[in-house]
Amino acid sequence: MKEELLVTSAHRLRRRRRISENVNLIIFLLPAMFFVLVFIAFPVLYSGFLSLTEFKFGIDKAPTFIFLQGYIDRFTDDSLFITALVNQAVFAVSYFGITFLASLMLAIFINEISFGAQAFQVLFYLPMIIPMSLAGITWAWLLSPINGFTNTVIRAITENPRFMFDWYQEPKTALIGLVVARSWKMVGFTLIIFIAGLKGIPTSYREAARVDGASFWQEIWRIILPNLRPYMLISSIWILINSLKVFDLVRVVTEGGPGIRTYTLYYYSWKLAFERQDLGQASQVAYITALIIILLAVVLNRVFRAETAERA
Amino acid sequence: MAAQNLAYRKLSRVFFFLVLVFAVLYIFPVFWMFLTSIRPDNDIHKFPPTVMPKALTLSNYLYIFTGMKGFSRYFLNSVVVTVSTVLIVLMASAMSGYAFGMRKFRGSGVLFMLVLSVLTIPYIMYLIPIYIMEYNLGLTESYLGLILPYVALNLPWGLLIMRGAFSTIPLDIRDAAIVDGCGEFRMVFQILLPIVRPAFVTTTIITFVFAWQEFMFASTINKKNNWQTLPVGIVWIRDELQTMAMGKVGAAIILSILPVLILFFIFRKFFIEGLSEGMLKG
């Protein structure tokens, strides 16, 4: 009788403890889950829904369901979207080229330096802490046609007005000007990836090559670059994904102009939503952008994984 | 070999100067902005312009604090929004990081993957629904209107970092504390949190830098001076003054990056680690 009582009370105690542990678990998870569900999961689903509708905020009472028609219209009947897509592609390719080559070159140089390498690394990293919008103002001022630095210097050399132009209002240079400003902020980051990669190459590889009489450039070409491949892939993923997310710069420096020369996907979506109040179209553009980004990440990750599997 | 080594030393010197030249060019835009901020307006805008200043002054810095209402308010707003975001993210990610890292429960793997999948989704997808939601709840034009999405966007990163830190703690520590009769909450906050302090610093830095720099949400959700943060506020200052008062805009930019710069020099290692993880943002 007594024993039975003891067993049940122990059982009850254990059960009570398990319940309280479960309650604790829910409490521990609650704040994070609240934010993730309300501000992330719901928005993703809701903008997915909006992208299947026609909905002008403040004009239409409720969204009208049109299924995929909106997506079809974007590609077949929206020249501004195609322009944004093309601009985005040009932006991505040149941004990738500049950022990748500049940081790779700097990393190789810094790796060979025996003095002050750390300090240089920090210095190249510094633009990362400047907000993109303010970096935009800084570049616009540097290149400003009225008393900006570049044109002041050019004026000192030649009075010919042909060489003094407004970089961000000139159709030919506006987009590439934005690319330069954005690369400026990114190079310090990919530099760190490359330097980490270079540090990981065993010195014995290079010493062996040197004993065999390899020149410095042969070392770069035959030893350093092949060993850096995984790091190149990682930074390619970073740069490409990053390149699709231009908004601040366009908004602050060119506002999509001159004309529509610097419309990008983010900017076009934003413009549709918050100036034309067209939430359906804006969501379609946002979803297409997201799909491109996710696809890119998945494909590059695949490539990357295949690459590492091959080495292992 | 000896000749080769000599060649290498020479090459190293060449590289040093190349990098030095690059570094100077690299830092120049900021330096030019700084130079502008300490020149009097008539020196910046004289004709013909000169690269070197003819006179130096601190009047721009004085002006943005005393003569201009906007800047101090934007600064305050940035501090309020950033600090609250950081505190909430730390709290929530420590709690859930503990749950994912040290407690076994059904579905934890799936749930965690779900949270992580968020990391690849570009922010433009959240912007429109969050704006509509906040508009309907009357949260636009408020601190909360920025703090809530900022927390949501940074939490997955915090969770990722915290879970990693908690899962390295031996479960014995936790079991011993529970056997000693320590409640679970007290154990987490008093015993485990000091152990994961580095993760706290990294999370703080990622979140701080994000909230201090964020532009897209801030410029969309808040349209009034009272609640605007620095990255948008300074753009407004520029739009208002036009290019004829670049000295003041320059001073505002320099002052606005100062807090992060100071943090950067204190926690350099954490910065480089933390921002590397946070680069997928945007």
Task: Please tell me whether the peptide bond between A258 and the residue prior to it is cis, using omega within 30 degrees of 0.
Answer: yes
**Taking 90 as the threshold, does the pLDDT of residue A230 lie above it?**
no
Q: Which residues contact residue B68 at a Cβ distance below 8 angstroms, ignoring those fewer than 6 apart?
A: B237, B248
The nearest CA of chain A is from the CA of B67 a distance in Å of 21
- Residue in chain A lying closest to B108 (CA): A29
Q: What's the CA angle centered on A271, arms A236 and B231, to 5 degrees?
A: 70
The answer to whether A287 touches A48, Cβ cutoff 8 Å, is yes
Chain B residues within 8 A of A270 when measuring between CB atoms? 124, 127, 216, 220
Per-residue confidence (pLDDT) for residue A48, from 0 to 100: 94
Distance CA(A103)–CA(A124), nearest Å, equals 10
The answer to whether A287 touches B125, Cβ cutoff 8 Å, is yes
Per-residue confidence (pLDDT) for residue A308, from 0 to 100: 65
What residues are paired with A65 via a beta bridge? A53
Per-residue confidence (pLDDT) for residue A139, from 0 to 100: 95
Tokens of A175: 């987009």
The nearest CA of chain A is from the CA of B43 a distance in Å of 10
Tally the C-alpha atoms within 13 A of residue A208's C-alpha that lie toward its C-beta: 8
Per-residue confidence (pLDDT) for residue B171, from 0 to 100: 87
CA distances from A51 to A74, A241, A279, A282, B256 (A): 11, 22, 8, 8, 38
Q: B121–A44: do the CB atoms touch at under 8 Å?
A: yes
Per-residue confidence (pLDDT) for residue A4, from 0 to 100: 64
Chain A residues within 8 A of B110 when measuring between CB atoms? none
pLDDT digits (tens, 9 = 90+) for A141-175: 999 888 888 888 888 888 777 777 788 988 889 99
Chain B residues within 8 A of A293 when measuring between CB atoms? 120, 122
Chain B residues within 8 A of A109 when measuring between CB atoms? 15, 18-19
Global confidence as pTM: 0.91
Name the fold adopted by A72-311: MetI-like fold (1.10.3720)
Q: B96–A192: do the CB atoms touch at under 8 Å?
A: no
User: Per-residue pLDDT averaged across A203-231, rounded?
Assistant: 87
3-state helix, strand, coil in chain B (%, to 5): 80, 0, 20
Distance CA(A240)–CA(A228), nearest Å, equals 18
Q: B16–A115: do the CB atoms touch at under 8 Å?
A: yes
- Residue in chain B lying closest to A250 (CA): B216
- Residue in chain A lying closest to B88 (CA): A31
A152 at the B interface (CB within 8 A)? yes
The nearest CA of chain B is from the CA of A15 a distance in Å of 16
Nearest CA to A227 out of A254, A200, A263 is that of A200
Per-residue confidence (pLDDT) for residue B278, from 0 to 100: 59
Q: Is the Cα torsion angle A116, A120, A122, A123 positive or negative in sign? A: positive
The answer to whether B229 touches B78, Cβ cutoff 8 Å, is yes
Nearest CA to B33 out of A120, A148, A16, A165 is that of A148
- Residue in chain B lying closest to A48 (CA): B125
Is B124 strand, coil or helix? Answer: helix
pLDDT band at residue A9, thresholds of 50, 70 and 90?
confident
pLDDT band at residue A132, thresholds of 50, 70 and 90?
very high
Per-residue confidence (pLDDT) for residue B141, from 0 to 100: 92
Which secondary structure element, helix H or strand E, spans residue B29, and what is its range?
Answer: helix B2-37
Q: Is the Cα torsion angle A211, A213, A215, A220 positive or negative in sign? A: negative
* Pairing outcome for strands A64-65 and A53-54: antiparallel
Tokens of A195: 């330097």
**Taking 80 as the threshold, does the pLDDT of residue A17 lie above it?**
no
Q: A47–B18: do the CB atoms touch at under 8 Å?
A: no
The nearest CA of chain B is from the CA of A310 a distance in Å of 26
Tokens of A152: 């002041």
H-assigned helices in B41-68: 41-44, 59-66
Tokens of A227: 């060993």
Say which residue, A293 or A312, is predicted with more confidence: A293
Is B123 strand, coil or helix? Answer: coil
Q: A129–B92: do the CB atoms touch at under 8 Å?
A: no
Q: What's the CA angle centered on B205, arms B204 and B206, to 5 degrees?
A: 95
Q: What's the CA angle centered on A268, arms A262 and A272, to 5 degrees?
A: 145
Chain B residues within 8 A of A24 when measuring between CB atoms? 184-185
Residues 37-66 of A with CB under 8 A from B: 38-40, 42-44, 46-47, 50, 57
Rounded-to-10 torsion of CA A96, B158, B145, B82:
-90
pLDDT in tens, chain B (282 residues): 566 677 777 888 899 999 999 999 999 999 999 999 999 888 888 777 788 888 888 989 999 888 787 899 999 999 999 999 999 999 999 999 999 998 888 888 888 888 877 777 889 999 999 999 999 999 999 999 999 999 999 999 999 999 999 999 988 888 888 788 788 888 888 888 888 998 999 999 989 999 999 999 999 999 988 899 999 999 999 988 876 688 999 999 999 999 999 999 898 888 877 766 655 566
The nearest CA of chain A is from the CA of B243 a distance in Å of 8
Per-residue confidence (pLDDT) for residue B132, from 0 to 100: 93
Q: Domain residue spans in chain A?
A: 2-36, 72-311
A13 at the B interface (CB within 8 A)? no
Q: A138–B246: do the CB atoms touch at under 8 Å?
A: no
Q: A286–B127: do the CB atoms touch at under 8 Å?
A: yes
DSSP conformation letters of chain A: -HHHHHHHHHHHHHHHHHHHHHHHHHHHHHHHHHHHIIIIIHHHHHHHHHTTEE-BTTTSSSPEE-TTHHHHHHHHS-HHHHHHHHHHHHHHHHHHHHHHHHHHHHHHHHHH-SSSHHHHHHHHHGGGGS-HHHHHHHHHHHT-TTT-HHHHHHHHH---GGG---TTTSTTTHHHHHHHHHHHHHHHHHHHHHHHHHHTS-HHHHHHHHHTT--HHHHIIIIIHHHTHHHHHHHHHHHHHHHT---HHIIIIITT-STTTT--HHHHHHHHHHTS-BHHHHHHHHHHHHHHHHHHHHHHHHHHHHHHHHH-
Q: A139–B231: do the CB atoms touch at under 8 Å?
A: no
Q: B231–A38: do the CB atoms touch at under 8 Å?
A: no
Tokens of A158: 């030649």
Q: Domain residue spans in chain B?
A: 2-37, 65-280
Per-residue confidence (pLDDT) for residue A27, from 0 to 100: 92
Nearest CA to B123 out of A47, A240, A94, A82 is that of A47
Chain A residues within 8 A of B19 when measuring between CB atoms? 106, 109-110, 113, 120
For testing contact with chain B, the best of A26, A133, A146, A270 (most B CBs within 10 A): A133
Matching residue, tokens 């004993």: A211
Q: Which of A108-112, A217-221, B158-162 has the lowest mean pLDDT?
A: A217-221
Per-residue confidence (pLDDT) for residue B150, from 0 to 100: 96
- Residue in chain B lying closest to A35 (CA): B152
Per-residue confidence (pLDDT) for residue B243, from 0 to 100: 61
- Does the interface predicted TM-score (ipTM) exceed 0.85? yes
pLDDT band at residue A1, thresholds of 50, 70 and 90?
low
Per-residue confidence (pLDDT) for residue B131, from 0 to 100: 94
The burial class, CB within 10 Å (0-12 / 13-18 / 19+), for A214 is middle
Chain A residues within 8 A of B260 when measuring between CB atoms? 129
Does B65-280 carry CATH code 1.10.3720.10? Answer: yes
Chain A residues within 8 A of B279 when measuring between CB atoms? 189, 238, 242
The nearest CA of chain B is from the CA of A248 a distance in Å of 6
Nearest CA to B100 out of B152, B158, B163 is that of B163
The answer to whether A270 touches B127, Cβ cutoff 8 Å, is yes
Check residue B133 and report its DSSP letter: H
Of B121, B253, B282, the CB nearest to A137: B253
Is B3 strand, coil or helix? Answer: helix
Of A32, A134, A294, the CB nearest to B96: A32
Tokens of A167: 């970089």
